[in-house]
Amino acid sequence: MSAEVERSIRPGRPSTAQPHATSDDGVRAASAPVPSVVVGGAVVLGLLVLYVLSNLDRENVYRHFVWQGLAWLDGHATIAFPVPGNDYYNDVMPVLDAAGVPTGRGLLPFPPLPALVLLPFTAIWGLATDAQLLTAIGAALGVGVAFWALGRLEISRVVRLAMTIFLGAGTVLWYAAAVGSTWWTAHVVALPLLFGAVGIGIAREHAIPFRPERRFLASIDPALVLAGLLLGLAATARIPVALGAVYFLFVGGGTLRGRVLSVGLGAALPLVALVVYTLVATGHPFNPAYDYLYRYEVDAYPELGYVGSWAIEDPRYIPQNLARMLLQPPNVLPACADPGAVRGLFDAACPFVVPDAVGMSLLLTSPAWLLVLPAIRRRWADPVVSGGIMAAGLIATLDLMHFSQGWVQYGYRFSLDFAPFLLPVAALGLEGLAGRWRRVGYVLIGVSVIMQLWGIIWRGVMGW
């Protein structure tokens, strides 16, 4: 069956295949364009330099995944704890013996993939492993995969490049790459896997699908099996992203049955492996260190508004967390350490405006996410748009139900969980704008970059 015939019998699934090289106004470029691999490589290299220069003093204060790797190399699932170098960690559950006496071991609450990624480096350098530098490298590579995924869309090269820069320098990915501590590392490890899955889904959306035969194996699409595998692996770094599987109810071509079977088959292996690992390491299907951490933080941080009688994942947390995600402002004219001091732009003791360490509005720190709105309005029938919004919405809902939304952060770090599903939607939104509205879109990206730079500067000032 030809691609043209297939598209004609699949109404409501508009093509988003990569067009011929054009200039931004839609006119065919007269000269041969620079190869996309060169453009993407330049962006990755430039962002890597930016990330490294954003934090030259990488202290590696929080290196939970390095400790986990060392434990595996010693044949243990639990880390040595508390010992010098981790005795100040408050998110490690002490392991007790039958009499309730500490055993000198501790259980981490985090999924294992980041520790597995760092394991080869940990085997070489041990505690000297620079997990923060490796996180910066991983963030730059993730941007490269995002550039590839955006190339599966029907968008101009300028829009593709602009949205890639937005991801790398206009979202909290820049902050994640600069800080590179445990929590940010988990996001960075998941990111390229998610963009890989999303890119494969978009690419398969426009390939000639398998014919809907009754045989089970005839419905399996190897490319979507790979997409499912990448999605499942990402969930072993950041569990909420598993809900991104809903994306493939919309995107991926072929039949619904084929997409479900293919992605499900691919995702099953890493997800089952995660459950088995958790059972072996903890004796429980769900890591009990999560509950330990929750109980500790309820008492230790009353200012964060946790309610001990609520569950770790509780719908009652959504209103306050949603307000933080969308509306949380910076601290304006905070009290000065010296009442007679003169306020300064980046004066930690007496600033005009300073980021709120609890988090800040996603729309304030990365306003270019508003570009999803024109895509929703004009292209909802496009599976990339509807599927992206559904996947992002489900992941965000689960994140908002979580008691913690991160702390000592700039912006809203959980947004990295759903960014891979939302970025193609924003790209299509920008592509659909013309004239002055297109320029407004570019301005939003520029403002996003400036806001992230502001946060990076304050990170250095505050020592976050």
The answer to whether position 168 is within a domain reads yes
Provide the mean pLDDT of the chain.
91
Please tell me the pTM assigned to this model. Answer: 0.91
Cβ atoms of 52 and 136 closer than 8 Å: yes
Say what the pLDDT of residue 14 is.
44
> What was the pLDDT predicted at 12?
41
The answer to whether 93 and 107 are in contact (CB under 8 A) is yes
Structure tokens at 394: 């489900």
Query: Which pLDDT tens digit goes with each residue over 295-351?
Result: 999 988 888 889 999 999 999 999 999 999 999 999 999 999 888 899 999 999 999
Predicted confidence at residue 7, as pLDDT, reads 37
* pLDDT digits 0-9 by tens, 181-213: 999 999 999 999 999 999 999 999 876 544 444
Please report whether residue 69 resides in a domain.
no
What per-residue confidence (pLDDT) applies to 217? 65
Indicate if the pLDDT at residue 447 is higher than 90. Answer: yes
Continuous H helices in 206-287: 222-235, 256-282
Residue 6 lies in a domain: no
Q: Please write the tens of the pLDDT for every residue from 10-41.
A: 334 444 444 444 444 444 444 567 899 999 99
| Predicted local confidence at residue 26, as pLDDT | 44
pLDDT of residue 32: 65
Show the 3-state SS of 305-324: CCCCCCCCECHHHHHHHHHH
Write out the residue range of the structural domain in which residue 307 sits: 36-60+130-462
Q: What is the pLDDT of residue 422?
A: 98
pLDDT of res. 79: 98
Q: Mean pLDDT throughout 71-86?
A: 97
State the DSSP H helix or E strand holding residue 93, giving kind and residue range, or none if neither: strand 93-96
Least confident of 146-155, 269-278, 291-300: 291-300
Determine, yes or no, domain membership for 408. Answer: yes
Of 10-14, 250-254, 442-446, the one with minimum mean pLDDT is 10-14
pLDDT of residue 31: 58
Q: Are 196 and 228 within 8 A, CB to CB?
A: no
- Give the pLDDT score at 15: 44
Per-residue pLDDT at 16: 45
Question: How many angstroms separate the CA atoms of 146 and 337, rounded?
Answer: 44
- 218 has pLDDT over 70: no
The per-residue pLDDT for range 403-416, each reduced to its tens digit, is 999 888 999 999 99
Residue % of the chain over a pLDDT of 90: 83
| Segment 67-91 mean pLDDT | 96
- Domain count of the chain? 1
Residue 406 lies in a domain: yes
Instruction: With respect to residue 123, please indicate whether it lies within any of the assigned structural domains.
Output: no
The percentage of residues in the chain with a pLDDT greater than 70, rounded to a whole number, is: 91
**Residue 167 falls inside a structural domain:** yes
Asked, for residue 106, whether it belongs to a domain, the answer is: no
DSSP secondary structure string, 334-388? PPPSSTTPPPBTT-TTSBSEE--TT---HHHH-GGGGGHHHHHHHHTTSHHHHHH
Structure confidence at residue 60 (pLDDT): 77
